Structure 1
Amino acid sequence: MTGLTTHILDLTHGQPASNVTIKLYFQKESSTEWSLLKTAVTNDDGRLDSPFLSKEELKNGCYELVFHIGSYFSNMNIDLPNPPFLDKIPVRFNIVDTTTHYHVPLLVSPWGYQVYRGS
């Protein structure tokens, strides 16, 4: 499988994070401009129903995933400040080999997060 996928795990509750909006941007070459490619919402398993980008859509360059996590945690009935400490989490990465799969998971709590290149 090739393409771009992601998923979100809620470390506070020990479960996938469902109904989280994620936006995918691409930076135009030799520019500071970003273009919105797609918007998706995670399913009950904290994943997208299909890859963000298929192998045909994947191209070399700089991408940014923006995870809209603040509204997810505010809907979980947690006592959090307003505005929350984490609201939108941007993750910027480069794709340099379009023949391989890129998986960018987010592990998150209201106070911290971690991302990595998964498989």
Structure 2
Amino acid sequence: MAAAVSSPLTTHVLNTGDGIPASKMAVTLHRLDSELKIWNMLGVGTTNEDGRCSGLISQEAFTSGMYKLRFETGSYWESRGQTSFFPYVEVVFTITDPGQRFHLPLLMSQFSYSTYRGS
């Protein structure tokens, strides 16, 4: 796994229902094989106590293409003794300039979520 400082892609998950970072949530990164039309897993991580996850991919492996981050939201809520409408959240995005840095936060509650491209 790449060091956090060299990771071109980071994420931050916030439990907006309780007003806290979503720590210990499993996150996976995938890239679409455009010829085979299948998703290949590139990285696996877990959010830290601040809800952040970095180091999912190195700068060298980060190329143009379609990616998705999958957040295991159902397991997170179960670990808190709660239920959730969404068993997982997948955020699909396209990278055209892999030389840039990308930050994709996930804001979530048990019954909703939103995301955006952050800085």
The residue number in structure 1 matching 2:58 is 54
What secondary structure does 1:7 align onto? strand
The residue number in structure 2 matching 1:11 is 16
- 1:37-116 equivalences under 5 Å are 37-48=42-53, 50-78=54-82, 80=83, 84-116=84-116
Q: CA deviation at 1:23?
A: 1.0
What's the TM-score once normalised by structure 1's chain length? Answer: 0.88
Gaps of 5+ in 2: 1-5
Q: CA deviation at 1:2?
A: 6.3
Contact 1:60–1:95, Cα closer than 8 Å, also in 2: yes
Write the deviation string for residues 5-53 of structure 1: whole angstroms up to 9, x where unpaired.
11100001111100000111110123311111111111101012x4322
Q: CA deviation at 1:71?
A: 1.3
Contact 1:5–1:53, Cα closer than 8 Å, also in 2: no
Q: 1:65 and 1:22 mapped to 2: Cα distance? A: 7
Q: 2:75 and 2:32 mapped to 1: Cα distance? A: 26
What's the TM-score once normalised by structure 2's chain length? Answer: 0.88
The residue number in structure 2 matching 1:32 is 37
What secondary structure does 2:49 align onto? coil
Contact 1:68–1:88, Cα closer than 8 Å, also in 2: yes
Higher helix fraction (1 or 2): 2
Contact 2:105–2:118, Cα closer than 8 Å, also in 1: yes
16-25 vs 29-38, which moves further:
29-38
Identity %: 37
Amino acid at match of 1:68: E
What secondary structure does 1:71 align onto? helix
Q: 1:2 and 1:16 mapped to 2: Cα distance? A: 21
Amino acid at match of 1:71: S
